[in-house]
Amino acid sequence: MGKVITITSRKGGVGKTTTILNLAGVYSNLKKKVLILDLDLYSNSVAVSLNIKNAKTIHNLVLDITNNKFKEVKDYVYDYNEFIKVLPSVNDPRVASQIETRYIEQIINMIKHDFDVVLIDTNHVLTNLNLVIYDNSDTVLNIMSNDPVDLVNTRNFINIASDIEFPDLRILLNESNSLEEKYFSLYDMKEFLNYNISYKIGREFYIKTIDKYVLDGKILTLENVYKRDYKKLEGIGIDLLRDVEIEE
């Protein structure tokens, strides 16, 4: 049974898609079978970032389930390499509302039998769809930046996660996405959130030419871009596969 890890955020532009692709690269290097399930239904950023020209999407999968035409998940996924496959988001955001939440649990339960890791991409809006995704994940990784608005929204999300008793919410502070945002210290952020920041990606991971890799459909962790810092990203990926210890 594969580990289902959902990557989310409370605002756009925090490096969520880059993070999910880097994690996929880490797991590929570890020879884990990975599926990236793109449920950010208003951007299709994963397929675009990987230069995948897809005809079928999550929308086609839902339609075929609805009309009893579904056969196998492999009919809807695209190969990136030997270990990474992608189930793309919708090509037309106007059909996003047709993907009912009742199918999401069914789809996640199907695909996690065929992969070691399922990485789910979401948008930053707290919709009913996202709540269903979180509830059917083993771990939710919330990406946040060093930004006051993001900090407040993340604290609110932590409180919501506590109310619905989600067992494994982890916070990743990404400071590599912008060299300008440096409002608070790590200590101040932990105090404000009243919650542990599980991982930090520092400014040393800033890649000035990242757009070039996106245009070429490349994953940074597969291109030896980080070199000496790669082990830190690998450590985050390995730690995410560990089950959280629940206090009785």
Report residue 91's pLDDT band, with 50, 70 and 90 as the boundaries. confident
Phi-psi region at 90: left, alpha or beta (left = phi > 0; alpha = psi -120 to 50): beta
Which two structure tokens, joined as six digits, stand for 16?
Answer: 């969520």
| Strand ranges for 24-127 from DSSP E | 34-38, 78-79, 84-87, 117-121
Q: Where are the domains of the chain?
A: 3-38+81-86+113-240
Mean pLDDT of 237-247: 74
The model's pLDDT over 120-166, given as tens digits with 9 standing for 90+, comes to: 999 998 889 999 999 999 999 999 999 899 999 999 999 999 888 88
The model's pLDDT over 8-38, given as tens digits with 9 standing for 90+, comes to: 999 988 999 999 999 999 999 999 999 999 9
Report residue 194's pLDDT band, with 50, 70 and 90 as the boundaries. very high
Report residue 182's pLDDT band, with 50, 70 and 90 as the boundaries. confident
**Residue 201 C-alpha from the chain's centroid:** 15
The edge-to-edge listing of strands for the beta sheet with 139-144 is: 78-79, 84-87, 34-38, 117-121, 3-9, 139-144, 169-174, 199-201
Report residue 246's pLDDT band, with 50, 70 and 90 as the boundaries. very low
Q: To the nearest whole percent, how much of the chain has pLDDT over 70?
A: 97
Homologous superfamily in CATH for domain 3-38+81-86+113-240: P-loop containing nucleotide triphosphate hydrolases (3.40.50.300)
Helices H, strands E: what count in the chain?
A: 9, 8
Q: In the predicted model, is pLDDT for residue 179 greater than 90? A: no
Q: What value does the mean pLDDT of the chain take? A: 91
pLDDT at 244: 54
